[in-house]
Structure 1
Amino acid sequence: MPDNYPCLLVGDFNLMRRPENRNRPGGDVNDMFLFNEALSSLGVVELPLLWKKFTWSNKQNPPLLERLDWFFTSAEWTMLFPETTVSTLSMETSDHVPCLITATTNVPKGGIFRFENYLMEHDDFLGVVQHGWSMPTPHFDKAKVITTKFKNLRRVIKAWQTHLSSLKMNIANVKLILTFVSLLEEFRDLTVEEWNFRTLIEEKLLFLLKQQRIYWKQRGTIKWATKGDAGTKIFHAHATIKHRRNFITSLLNSDNTS
């Protein structure tokens, strides 16, 4: 096995590692010893088998069950894909149990700050910016002062952004209230207070839809987004296409192999 290279070793070895790898007493202890010694010299790590203990059956009554299928990884593979697992599926016509290997990794990612343009429409935005920009800085160099001010502003806006309600949820709630008022109007006339309330809610919805249009314009990078209706499918499609273009599906080595 090459050094410093991620490897996954899979196969029906027709060998066992321990006597308990079969449901009846038996098995060649010398073969077990040689098999384990070979694995030790390779420096591989055994992947645990989930759900079932044995992977082969002689399909007789009573059956002989054995663990003959094994899965190993190199140390480099374990570092790259620490959550690699092997799970068993249901045995059908074969005498071997199908096994499914899942290779995943959860690499921690730092929280990336992304400024949302629609936040500029919020009533408190200018106050937040003024507060972040006016925070004291311990530097005297002008370049360091301006850099620190932008860092403070980013930190303040990020903290303020986490306390804001979801734009999508706000739009859904406002639409739900308008639906309720419309249903109420079918049974009786609205009072003056209810009529004024509906007017205020409609204005709120227009304001939220304007923010949503700004949101999808920023996501889709569409210059002509202002000519469309709020939240139309074209904006969602362009934003999805942009996301797919930025998604890395494979990497190539120096010899152009993936």
Structure 2
Amino acid sequence: MEFSDSRCFALWGNNKIGWVHSEGENGAGGVLSMSHKEVFEYRSHVKGRGYIGVTGVHTKLNCICNIVNVSIEERKGVRGFSSQKREIRDFNEFIDKNVLVELPLVGKKFTWYKSDGSAKSRLDRFLVSMEWLQLWPLSKQYIQPREVSDHCAVVSKSWVKDWGPRPFKTIDAWLLESGFKDLVKSKWNNYEVQGNRMFRLKEKLKLLKGDLKEWNRCVFGNLEESKRRIVMEIEKLDVRDVECDLLEDENLIRLELLSQRKVVEKKLESLNRQKARSTWLKHEDSNSKFYHSMIRWRKLRNEVKGVEIDNQWCEEPDSVRKEAKRVFEQRFMVLGLVTWTSNIFQRR
């Protein structure tokens, strides 16, 4: 398919765009990259079989952006999955070498459909750098409906949705704190809640959540800040030790601080491992930008992005919440496990 300004303007909806096209082979594998001129100022591009790389400036943030469009086949035919092993290997090496991650996919799984429905393929995807995730941590890729081609356009968006209060999560590092388990047991046994068992469980968990958040803020504290404070105290004693010998009490204080630093570092390691869930954490620097970007990427991958309601994709929090409530109520009712209606999905 040949492309021109008029065709691209029609696809985009106005003439405020720039575009780069890479021809495919035998009518397949072509790539078209378009961007809004008022947001993205084009500088240069490279292209080849199955890929386009465009460099420009994001005019609102005044930062350099490299946008890569890649086409690689992951085809599913009537006889099952088949793919070119060499192409997939080269593609994975390209991702690893450039430290790129794929944005979470919303909607359909494939971007190309054969007219008779006998085959479908995933040809296009958004790959972003760690710097991109730092600027737009909520980015996702959306596969659009087929219109003028047997290919579906893929759009990247970064939307902020208000899902209400965040769900409560237990932090593994809390278990390393002396007295934590006794605190939980004491709080749990002292809660007085009336109602059936499921209602009591929900309300007691809600009360425990509030108490643990308060304990985390007042007792457990900020681990990074605690570590900095301990290191500064040790440094003061080390400097004093150079100037003159420390007193016996001061030596004991320094030993205690060193012991506290080890405990805090162990808690930080546990916390970081829980956030990242990556095996390389044992060997890599947890203070690197790559590490913190991987934490953001993992959160983005694991979050609930939306649900399909009546064959229509929906991301509105209220609608998603209502649909989740309906599905769980229906399943529990069918199993005969509950005979009451819960309001746990209602926003408060």
Normalising by structure 1, we get a TM-score of 0.48
Higher RCO structure, 1 or 2 (CA under 8 Å, sep 6+)? 1
Structure number with the higher strand fraction is: 2
User: Which protein shows a greater Rg?
Assistant: 1
